[in-house]
Chain A
Amino acid sequence: MASVTYDAASRIYTPGARPAINQLQLDIADGEFLVLVGPSGCGKSTALRMLAGLEEVNEGRILIGGEDVSHVSPKDRDIAMVFQNYALYPHMSVAENMGFALKIAGVSKDERAKRVKDAAKLLDLEPYLDRKPKALSGGQRQRVAMGRAIVRSPKVFLMDEPLSNLDAKLRVQTRTQIAALTRKLAVTTVYVTHDQVEAMTMGDRVCVLKDGVLQQVDSPRNLYDTPANVFVAGFIGSPAMNLFQVEHDGEALILGGERYVIPDGSLKKTSSNKVTLGVRPEDIHIDPEHGIEMVVDLTEELGADAHIFGSPEGLESFQPLVVRVDGRRPPLKGDHVKVVPQMDHIHLFDAETGLRLNGEIPENTPHAQLADVEALQDEEGE
């Protein structure tokens, strides 16, 4: 068990080109479950492989337990990794797979058998110890990969999208099991995923990456409540936060002809006459009297609640407005409704830098553009 530190660590494949990981600064406490999340190509897997020793650290350092391991080979780092495709040794039985690292380390046969058995018990793998990986189901293979990691009692667990090959239902079950298991073992865990729901539900803290640059690292709650820039705002949350370009006069937002006064003075922090307004779908309600006019284009009924989609009048946005409403009597397609954002839960971002303007603002946040969020939506739509 150990802490992990990325000290301005960079991975540069081609000198001069954009680094795959750019000056990553991150402290992970002993026993913490940290999730690295971001869209595809953001460098999250590279960051994990740097920690594993499978990718070079070109600049900066990586420390495990206070010890600089930047140029230490993987075998000497005392880490265990679960691969996205599990990477089980096909010519070995489940027991041999799980005991392989111990065998290499020279652990005696009896001790090895005992530790493999303990881990197998923990993961319900006891009946399968003599089988070869090809005779296992996807979920069982995933558990063997987990077992191979926990048998070793390493300093750090590394997990690279370990659930992405499971079907949706199994993924949710396994998600809970892994989260519970790593807490029980109290081993520092770095977990990579592209799925922000996985990130939110599993992590003690979540680190959002984009283009190799750390955007924000915080608890899931804070990430959701106070995204540091417009990219994090658009990435975390499902359905995504509604983001609009809105005009203001320094004191109030002008929305659908009405003035919404922002009393904390955050609108004075920007020089532009526009700001990006962010409102989560659950922070908008339908008002019978006044508000922004909208025609409902689509209603998604989810049972407990429903999402309505529409294009409000006079609002500049690349995406339809999403409102979460009571699932029992949602407005239907074609209905005219008036919607009002809940002003004490809105998020304001600088229209140019994309940085947060209201509430608590984390330091050293990189700039982001609304276009980045737009690209994100396109990617998800594919």
Chain B
Amino acid sequence: MTSTTPLRPRRTASRQALNITALAVALLWIFPIYWMVNVSLQPNAQMRLEGPTWVPLDFTPDAYLGVLSDSSFWTAMRMSMQVSLLAVAVALFSATLAAVALSRFRFRSRTAIIITVLVVQMIPAEALFISQFRMLSGWGLVNTTLGLSLLYVGTVMPFIVWMLKGFVDGVPVDLEEAAMIDGCTKVGAFFRVTFPLLGPGLVATGVFGFLVSWNEFTLALVMLSSGGRVTLPVWLQGFQEGMSGTDWAGIMAGSALIAIPVLILFSIVQRRMASGMVSGAVKG
């Protein structure tokens, strides 16, 4: 018997404890999603019965059909798409430039800028609503796609800049220098060598920005004050209020449908989010 043998059962036990904890956490997270889908597939009458129905035996797609045939859902979907995509595009472009500057250049007050970016992130969103509204109103951008997108850009920028700075730091400067010796200008070296290697970072931060813009509710509610121009989360709120008795199945079906574009986005890009793009560049 070697001295290491007694260690083995203990290690398995702790491993099992960890596994069980992980499973419990996973169940906790997945339950609301399960419940959303479950409710959305039941007729509303089922809701009023005593005790929960765990499996939708009286399966009906009525709630989904109801939402999908609602033209206001599609208007809100278009609005959400426009706002989120515009916000992500503008934020990624500006944040990339900012991240490269912060990572590659040494200039006066560089540290101060980095810290400011971080501090801005810590201001509670509610504290800014009034000034943000007045700002948009001054520019005549209240109730517009562009106006809301601009606010979302501001919301996600600090985090994206920080995260992208990390990705730029991860690309060795030597690569750009090698490209410059190979005949590129400084800008050319960035676009031909560094930029392609930022792919995973751009995808990850882009998904983050999209999620935040897609799901944001309060700002959208404040800035889209009148008329039928709303984003999906605001539409969902209106959907609930519009009914005489709450249409739980409809709300859950709407929620599920809102989540679907995000799921599609994730399934497309998750493979590209894997890191390791830079491996092989330099001896590790």
Please report A residues at the B interface, Cβ cutoff 8 Å. 52-54, 73-75, 77, 79-81, 83, 85-91, 100-101, 104-105, 132-136, 138, 141, 148, 152, 165
Contact = CB atoms under 8 A, between A and B. Distances in A.
Contact of B277 (A75, A77, A90): A90
Nearest to B281: A90
A75 B278 CA distance: 24
Contacts of A101: 181-183
Given A83-B178, A104-B182, A105-B183, A89 B283 contact: no
Interface residues of B, number: 24
Contact of B282 (A52, A79, A85, A148): A85
Given A74-B181, A134-B276, 5 more contacts: A80-B182, A87-B172, A87-B177, A90-B278, A138-B283
Contacts of B280: 88, 90, 132-136, 141
Contacts of A135: 280
Contacts of B197: 90-91
Given A73-B185, A104-B183, A105-B183, A91 B177 contact: no
A258 to B, nearest CB: 54
Interface of B: 172, 174-175, 177-185, 188, 193, 196-197, 276-283
Contacts of A53: 180-181
Given A91-B277, A165-B283, A75 B193 contact: no
B181 A75 contact: yes
B115 to A, nearest CB: 25
Nearest to B183: A104
A246 B257 CA distance: 91
A54 B281 contact: no
Contacts, number: 87
Contacts of A133: 280-281
B193 to A, nearest CB: 6
Contact of A80 (B181, B188, B196, B282): B181
B177 A54 contact: yes
Contact of B279 (A77, A79, A134): A134
Nearest to A88: B281
A83 B174 contact: yes
Contacts of A136: 280
A83 B178 CA distance: 8
A211 B276 CA distance: 39
Contacts of B278: 90
A75 B283 contact: no
B182 to A, nearest CB: 4
B283 A86 contact: yes
Contact of A75 (B174, B180, B196, B281): B180
